[in-house]
Structure 1
Amino acid sequence: MAALAVAGVASAQSSVTLFGVVDASISGYSSTSRDQNNGFTYNAQGVATGFNPLYLNKGSVKVSRTALANSGYNSSRLGFRGTEDLGGGLAASFWLEAPIANDDGATGVASFKRRSTVSLSGGFGEVRLGRDYTPTFWNDTVFDPFGTNGVGSNLINTANGFNVDTNGAKDTGGFGGNQNYDRASNSIGYFLPPNLGGFYGQVMYAFHEQDKYDNGNFTPKTGTGFVLNPKTGAIEQASVAKSRTGRYVGGRFGYANGPLDVAVAYGSSTVGDQFYAGITNKVDTLNFGASYDFGPLKLFGEFSKAKNKLDYEMTPTLGGRPDIDLTGYLLGVTVPVGAGLIRASYSSVKYDENLVAQSPFAVIPEDKKANKLAIGYVHNLSKRTALYATVARVSNKNGAALTVGGPGFVTAGGFTPKTSTGYDFGLRHAF
């Protein structure tokens, strides 16, 4: 009887919840490239040096795909969360959330890569340990009418989070190989308490978990071949030895009261380093977002700037690689219509490689640019079930190659990426 009484008290003070989202859509994607050659050949300075009168322009080539996809409205997931009341305003919590691929069942609860945290909270706020969203990603998704999901996801998210080679695959490198764009593993996070009159904030530090040798000369050389050491000028064995890769530090602070929500975030992610060459590669991100709910409509906006930079212990004789800046902005709106919601956004990004002309006659290539227009409608059948439709189009300029998802562009044979279009028609159920 005593044991049952204790068990009853424990169960009353604790709670565990199973939750999730199952989202499926019929989605279509197409990526079109064009042959922009006209028979002329040009040198590095952009001056025509020859002409082939027999050149036949190859026009355009389109790669398309139709699929039964997932996560067009909300990310499909399965999770477990729980809280234990420790008394005195103190509570312990856990959160385990796994991505699922309900379209083919190939991805189930094999990992909790969406979120896996344990935390302690109270009047002081919350301390959270594990894998979680980074502070800088929050603005990208909170101030996007499409929540960084489906073909409507804004270009700030696409350019930062999609792999630079495949364009359509998330969480595989992103801008500058930034694995910490949306989530960071091995992190310690602190969140301000919720009773600060609308002010909120968080800070995060993620460990790189690389081995460090007190005598750096014992750091293993993991590269192949030989390179010129920029510090000594000697030819040495190539090395990509890492001692800092994976580290993230950042924070986000904002104010939400009534219809207004505004926040600013900054984060620095170490995406690569070469120990023996004295080179560290970082991606620093600063973004600012805001939304205001007028009732008949809600406006969204965001400005983001990411810098991919190389820090040198000693600048190479021929100069180091310039920083690469990725600047983007987003304007969006949602309009409630009965049981439904109209969503629309316009986003744009620009890559600035900060190239410097090597001679008075040199022509610097124009900055790569892209813009995107997306519009969609969500019809709520209940609080947990919704039908949705989204269409979107990306226009690329000067060699940019961003897509709405799906296949990448054909670039072989002189083709240049131009437009990417897509649609989602789907059903989402949450539990």
Structure 2
Amino acid sequence: MKKSLTAFAALAVCGLASAQSSVTLFGVVDAAVTYQSATSRDPVTGATIKSSKTSLGNSGYNSSRIGFRGTEDLGGGLAASFWLEAPITNDDGATGISTFSRRSTVSLSGGFGELRLGRDYTPTFWNDTVFDPFGTNGSGTNVISTVSGNTTINNANYVRASNSVGYFLPPNLGGFYGQLQYAFDENTSTSATSTTAATSSNAGRYVGGRFGYANGPLDVALGVGQSIAVDTTTLERKVQTINLGASYDFGPVKLFGELSSVKNKFDTALTNTHDSYNGYLIGATVPVGAGLIRASYSQVRYNEGAAGVTGEERRELHRQPGLGQHHGLRQHRRDLHGPAALVDRLRLRHSPRILRTDPREEKEGSAAPFFSCCIRMRRCVPVAALRGAVHPAPTAHAPAPAARASPTSAPRRRHAHARSSGTRPGPGRCLPRARSGPAACDRRA
């Protein structure tokens, strides 16, 4: 039975035929006990309602996931790779490897950079997560990300875009990095005069880019993108995003900052209007022994006009401070799995209305402390080792297969894998800025 499973694994990756090929199984299992409380007040009657909830959830610190990635050295400086990543809900087991909606890409990389096809993160999302000490996950997620991903704006291409073609600059540009991405709407074009969501419509199209500079402790990047959310004969709605983020590591403390501007534009035959959501974030991380203290403050100012999504004028200011502490319990082993982590975070949120013209219910505040345990796992399976396990030993007239790499050479093989498939070897939680894009923390959404 063991030999059959080994043979099946070898057949599954038979396309990666050279000794430089490898397939990696990776994942995160995160469980969190969460307590939430909120107080709501009716601005007309003054009546208050208090509510609270205690639950066991997933993805409190890291997003729970499981995935497969692989690479093959094509020679001549070229490499082919793939990445399939699926979300999992380990709290109830309802979601497993049923969809690779987190990422599903195939890539070709070389001295020219990397060409990546499939479903991937958008360039404008990177700044929201890279320059957030909490990495847009859990209760510490900044309000810039919360507003950009809410159902009011309804931007399906905020975090990821499907059917995309992406290009990443090569890593040898003296610290400069960048990417461009175009996502097809895949709607049918017809000669009919009417425009619907399925015919002659650009709804779903995304165009964006991100360029930055990273050298030593400094990292700064600018992201710009536009997503077409609605495109009919009566309305074209576009979501335009511009953000600028930076971080600087002084050693005892690392500082983060971001400026963000999101416009929800409405173009009709008679008028052109837009809603705006302008915000900023400041934050810091302080290493303390085996742990890390995180702190952030973010705010977004709403400016929604009468022609906006809500159909009425609304001006609001949303603020959110965040404080958290992370403590690693186990040293990282590069070839098997990462550390387990205990997290204790407190989020205080206050969203006062600056100008309110509607009697809708108002939330005065909420607090959500929680305890989270996260385990990361990674296993690299050399294809050459799989082949050696299922093929007979070589005869005197046949050359011996490539020997299985020693532990000292394994990191070099993973480095070659990282250059082509966009993963960084070792215990770091961040992806490289080179061909795979920005240094995106694994805590991303």
The residue aligned with 2:280 is 329
Match of 1:183 among 160, 164, 182: 160
Match of residue 365, structure 2, among 381, 403, 419 = 419
1:266 matched to 2:217? The reply is no
Match of 1:29 in 2: 36
**Corresponding residue for 1:236?**
none
Partner Cα separation in structure 2 for residue 252 and residue 69 of structure 1: 33
1:375 corresponds to which of 323, 345, 353: 323
Which deviates more, 139-148 or 392-401?
392-401
> Percent identity over the alignment?
57
3-state secondary structure, aligned to 2:19: helix
User: For residues 107 and 36 of structure 1, do their structure 2 counterparts lie closer, same or farther at Cα, with a shift above 3 Å needed?
Assistant: same
For structure 1, the 5+ residue unaligned runs are 38-56, 165-175, 223-239, 357-363, 402-411
Within the candidate set 366, 376, 385, 2:340 is matched to: 385
AA of the residue aligned to 1:178: N
Secondary structure of residue in 2 paired with 1:177: coil
Match in the other structure for 1:398: 353
Write the letter of the residue equivalent to 1:34: R
Of residues 280, 298, 308, the one that matches 2:236 is: 280
Paired with 1:290 and 1:108, the residues of 2 have a C-alpha distance of: 36
- Matched ranges for 1:53-202 at <5 A: 57-164=45-152, 176-202=153-179
C-alpha displacement of 1:368: 1.2
Tell me, in whole angstroms, the C-alpha distance in 2 between the residues paired with 1:335 and 1:75. Answer: 22
For each residue in 1:44-76, what CA deviation from the matched residue of structure 2 results, as whole angstroms up to 9, or x when unmatched? xxxxxxxxxxxxx45311232111111111111
**Taking structure 1 as reference, are residues 193 and 63 closer, same or farther at Cα in structure 2, changes over 3 Å only?**
same
- 2:215 aligned with 1:257, yes or no? yes
1:150-180 deviations in whole A, cap 9, x for unaligned?
Answer: 000000011111323xxxxxxxxxxx21000
Is 1:429 aligned to residue 375 of structure 2?
yes
Given the alignment of the two structures, is residue 14 of structure 1 paired with residue 21 of structure 2, yes or no?
yes
Partner of 1:296 in structure 2? 252
How far residue 397 of structure 1 moved from its aligned partner, in angstroms, is 1.9
What runs of 5+ residues in structure 2 fail to find an aligned partner? 1-9, 333-338, 378-445
Change (3 A) 1:280 1:142: same
How many angstroms apart in 2 are the aligned matches of 1:291 and 1:198?
14
Q: After superposition, what is the alpha-carbon deviation per residue over 1:94-121, rounded to whole angstroms, capped at 9, x for unaligned? A: 0000011111111111100000000000
Q: What CA deviation, in whole Å up to 9, does each residue of 1:363-385 have, x standing for no partner?
A: x9661111001101000012321
Alpha-carbon distance in structure 2 between the residues aligned to 1:366 and 1:8? 56
What do residues 375-400 of structure 1 show as CA deviations (whole Å, max 9, x unaligned)?
Answer: 01000012321111111021112289
Aligned residues: 353
User: Contact 1:139 / 1:287 at 8 angstroms: preserved in 2?
Assistant: yes
Distance 2:236 2:53 in 1: 39
> Helix, strand or coil for the counterpart of 2:369?
strand
Within-5 A mapping of 1:194-233: 194-213=171-190, 215-217=191-193, 219=194
- Distance in 1 between residues matched to 2:176 and 2:121, nearest whole Å: 19
Normalised TM-score (structure 2) = 0.75
Question: Which residue of 1 is the match for residue 393 of structure 2?
Answer: none
Distance in 2 of aligned mates of 1:60 and 1:191 = 52
- RMSD of the alignment, in Å? 2.4
Give the drift of 1:427: 0.7
How much has 1:424 moved relative to structure 2?
2.2
Contact 2:71–2:82 (CA under 8 A) maintained in structure 1: yes
In the alignment, residue 342 of structure 1 is paired with which amino acid? I
Normalised by the length of structure 1, the TM-score is 0.78
CA distance in 1, matches of 2:38, 2:18: 54
**Distance (Å, rounded) in 2 between the aligned partners of 1:280 and 1:9:** 45
Residue 273 of structure 1 and its aligned partner are, at CA, apart by 1.3
